Structure 1
Amino acid sequence: MAPTRGTPTRPVRVDLGEWERFGVAAKSQGADRSSLIREFMRWYLRLPGAKLPKRPDVAPAAVGE
């Protein structure tokens, strides 16, 4: 099992193609999927200081395109 850095893992159902593209987009921003999901959740919950994550300038192509 991969280390969780102190936070429990949460299963989420996501289309595989979208998950792959999200990973490419996150990497292009120097981030990872988990950090972006946590940022979005903090913003969505209106937590103090939370900001909406920056999107990449261009949507990444689907894997294999």
Structure 2
Amino acid sequence: MKVNRAANPEANMHTSGSVSFATHQSRLEKELKRPTTFQEVFDKTHNKKGMDQYISDRAREVAVRVV
């Protein structure tokens, strides 16, 4: 797995560690006190902390396609 991660470092970039998408969604719903959208959770897990900038070009492209 170490070799795979090193081969394409951009594919493994997340700002949230090894927490599942469902867990992030649940936490965000509790924080916002309402159901969340896929886009909100994606933005939370793929933006640089404290900035409104995606962690990679690939993440930005996915976000644009989803909207």
TM range, smaller chain = under 0.3
Q: TM-score, normalised by structure 2?
A: 0.25
Which structure's residues are more often helix, by fraction?
Answer: 2
Q: TM-score, normalised by structure 1?
A: 0.25
